Amino acid sequence: MNEIKKLLEVMRRLRDSESGCPWDVEQTFATIAPYTIEEAYEVADAIARDDLNDLRGELGDLLLQVVFHAQMAAEGGHFDFDDVARGICEKMIRRHPHVFGSDEQRANGKVDGSWEEIKELERASSDDRSALAGVATALPALKRAQKLGKRAARVGFDWPDRRGVSAKIHEELDELEQVIGTQDQAAISDEFGDLLFAVVNLARHLDIDPEQALTGANAKFERRFRDMEAAILEKGSDIKAFSLASLDREWRAAKKRVG
């Protein structure tokens, strides 16, 4: 028995209503979905830490999620793991004509934009004909905003250049300032969301991944803050006792030390 077949059998037994694990048996697509997302993030984290041993384990955890969903679907008579594997094989072959296509297609090599053109043809066969079709609602908000803006831009709904986006950011910031005074939390949240959406679109125009940019900013803030804490501790002081002006001086010193 190869390892994939063994894994499928392990999951089948775990889901057995009579002899399986009670926790596994009671799960549904909805209850497992958060674990699937979490495992994908843990794969990305192992890659970011360049820990290949950990990556091997995290990929196994992610594969288990695929097998779990496929087993539940098979129990309902919808599809099974083979259908999942077959579908992705067909998709990859279809989207890589420069590798799997005719002699002429392979000779022409990879054509810029061909991947998106093929995806557009696939979407055209869907009942949802919107340019925004297929942008998953479960994506992180920054990533989804980026994809929505990119899709809209493909059909011409976009600012001509980054200056237009920058002006929109200032406009949204002004609107946010106006509603802050009303103390209407729903309106404030709405305007704040508009501001974030505009900022994500500026990132798109600058060819920057907003998720990666914010991840970098988070890491930089943590690096500087921890250095500031350590410096204050070395002085035998308590950070809570420092005035804001004193903390600002310590912060600027930490920036010089750790960048």
Distance CA 45, CA 42 (A): 5
Whether residue 152 is found in the same domain as residue 175: yes
Residue 48 lies in a domain: yes
Q: Which of 79, 104, 128 is the last residue of a domain?
A: 79
Whether residue 166 is found in the same domain as residue 145: yes
Tell me the three-class secondary structure of the chain, residue by residue: CCHHHHHHHHHHHHCCCCCCCHHHHHCCHHHHHHHHHHHHHHHHHHHHCCCHHHHHHHHHHHHHHHHHHHHHHHHCCCCCHHHHHHHHHHHHHHHCHHHHCCHHHHHHCCCCCHHHHHHHHHHHCCCCCCCCCCCCCCCCHHHHHHHHHHHHHHCCCCCCCHHHHHHHHHHHHHHHHHHHCCCCHHHHHHHHHHHHHHHHHHHHHCCCCHHHHHHHHHHHHHHHHHHHHHHHHHCCCCHHHCCHHHHHHHHHHHHHHHC
Whether residue 64 is found in the same domain as residue 8: yes
pLDDT, residue 113, reads: 62
Residue 75 lies in a domain: yes
Each residue's pLDDT tens digit, 69-78:
999 999 999 9
Whether residue 239 is found in the same domain as residue 177: no
Whether residue 204 is found in the same domain as residue 237: no
pLDDT, residue 203, reads: 97
Residue 61 lies in a domain: yes
Parts of the chain with a pLDDT under 50? none
Whether residue 220 is found in the same domain as residue 252: yes
Residue 106 lies in a domain: no
Whether residue 51 is found in the same domain as residue 71: yes
Whether residue 13 is found in the same domain as residue 53: yes
Whether residue 66 is found in the same domain as residue 16: yes
Parent domain of 151: 141-208
Whether residue 18 is found in the same domain as residue 66: yes
Residue 168 lies in a domain: yes
Whether residue 11 is found in the same domain as residue 74: yes
Please, what is the average pLDDT of the chain?
92
Residue 147 lies in a domain: yes
Residue 152 lies in a domain: yes
CATH number at residue 197: 1.10.287.1080
Residue 203 lies in a domain: yes
Model confidence, pTM: 0.65
Q: Which of 193, 208, 223 is the last residue of a domain?
A: 208
pLDDT, residue 46, reads: 94
Whether residue 254 is found in the same domain as residue 226: yes
| Total of domains in the chain | 3
